[in-house]
Amino acid sequence: MELYKSWYVILVISLSISSFVVQVSYGFDIESLETFLHDQANRSLLKPQTGTLYNIPLPSNFTGMELSVVRLRTGSFRSRGANFSSFYIPPQLKPNPYMKRLAIVYENLGNWSSLYYKVPNYSLVAPVVGFSIYDSPNSSVIGSKKLNFSIKGDPISIWFNKIELEGKNETPKCVKFGDNGSFKLKNMTKTNGCVTKGQGHFSIVVPSQPTSPPMKKKGILLIWWLIGFCGGFIGVVSLVLAMTAMFKIVKKKKLEAMEKQSEKEVPFDSIWIGRSKMPTASMVRTQPALEQEYAP
Ligand SMILES: *[C@@H]1O[C@H](CO)[C@@H](O)[C@H](O)[C@H]1NC(C)=O
Ligand SMILES: *[C@@H]1O[C@H](CO)[C@@H](O)[C@H](O)[C@H]1NC(C)=O
Ligand SMILES: *[C@@H]1O[C@H](CO)[C@@H](O)[C@H](O)[C@H]1NC(C)=O
Ligand SMILES: *[C@@H]1O[C@H](CO)[C@@H](O)[C@H](O)[C@H]1NC(C)=O
Ligand SMILES: *[C@@H]1O[C@H](CO)[C@@H](O)[C@H](O)[C@H]1NC(C)=O
Ligand SMILES: *[C@@H]1O[C@H](CO)[C@@H](O)[C@H](O)[C@H]1NC(C)=O
Ligand SMILES: *[C@@H]1O[C@H](CO)[C@@H](O)[C@H](O)[C@H]1NC(C)=O
């Protein structure tokens, strides 16, 4: 019974470790991508002209993504808005806190979109595009503060160059992705675009047919799962073995220490019986002092 229980625990632990390994091995983490892109923009623009959109070159293992940045004076941003990349930001937006200059970072994830962003039961039919607004101090193009803004008038409109419906007769919908993997669906506007009142990432989706994923993908997934499982399992087993060994060593040390201690304190002799050490009383024990003194 006990043995069965401990194996069950080992199995559960190794299963959870293996799923962790699988998740890590994919590594399409939105937050680290954002950090990387913003850092890239920060480093490759030294003295940009205000009002000019700059395309930021990306390393070859990001081919397919687009990144661009524009630096604006907040005053002109408020009076004229900004019409760059896939976003038309109307006038009257009020950034918070107020900084003299701001920088808008635009992203288009291109063919990487579906690796980073997923909507359950829907498939993306357009690349994911996004924008975010930062302060832009003189010392760096992209400051450390992300700015909020409030919209009183028209919302921001988003358009997509490429919507791939491929004969799907489902009605496409706009999707807005939150920071933590959350998303919100919305109808498209009459002009086949999307609108928003906040910054973030956006795309267009259609309901996906409930088809099973292609065998090849399944096979790869299975292989990853097996690798993760075996890795996790071997890890846990060796951990258990190591812990058992350590426990044994500690136990042995303790026993030895106890034996030494007992040898010091109690004037017992030991004899070996079979393989175990047994104490035997020697002939002379502690004198029964009290008894002698008060003896009549
Ligand atoms: C996206 O396309 C480019 C070529 O245009 C390619 O180099 C890159 O590997 C593709 N990325 C993905 C994730 O398929
Ligand atoms: C924004 O720019 C696009 C072209 O880049 C243009 O077609 C569109 O009319 C502009 N929108 C406004 C409101 O100026
Ligand atoms: C920032 O640079 C602009 C010119 O590029 C200059 O007019 C302004 O005084 C500078 N601000 C600070 C705080 O250095
Ligand atoms: C850009 O670089 C400056 C220093 O060079 C740094 O203070 C700032 O936090 C960086 N911005 C981002 C978004 O990494
Ligand atoms: C921006 O708004 C979010 C929530 O809407 C808040 O958590 C954050 O502190 C705000 N940032 C600034 C700079 O006001
Ligand atoms: C994710 O963030 C949104 C706001 O952007 C919030 O409404 C939602 O509760 C968050 N969800 C989780 C699971 O944290
Ligand atoms: C979205 O569109 C559907 C029809 O395509 C309509 O029934 C629904 O009321 C619309 N929702 C909103 C919020 O406009």
* Rounded distance from Cα 40 to ligand 3 centre (Å): 23
Return the pLDDT at 273: 53
Instruction: Give the pLDDT band of residue 22 (cuts 50, 70, 90).
Output: very low
Residue 6 has pLDDT above 90, yes or no: no
Q: pLDDT band at 21, cuts 50/70/90?
A: very low
pLDDT tens digit sequence for 57-96:
999 999 999 999 999 999 999 999 999 999 999 998 999 8
Q: Are 25 and 224 in contact (CB under 8 A)?
A: yes
pLDDT in tens, 195-225: 999 999 999 999 987 655 555 566 666 767 7
Pocket test for ligand 2, best of 80, 85, 88 (most atoms within 8 A of CB): 88
Q: Which residues line ligand 2 (CB under 6 A)?
A: 83, 88
Using alpha carbons, list the distances in angstroms from residue 215 to 19, 99, 219, 222.
20, 53, 6, 10
Average confidence (pLDDT) over 167-192: 88
Instruction: Note the pTM of the prediction, 2 decimals.
Output: 0.67
Residue 14 has pLDDT above 80, yes or no: no
Residue bearing the CA closest to ligand 4, atom 5: 140
Output the CA 62–ligand 1 centroid distance in Å: 8
For 134-151, the pLDDT digits (tens) are 999 988 899 988 999 988
**Are 96 and 84 contacting, i.e. CB atoms less than 8 angstroms apart?**
no
Closest-lying ligand to the alpha carbon of 73? Answer: 3
Q: Would you say how long the chain is, in residues?
A: 296
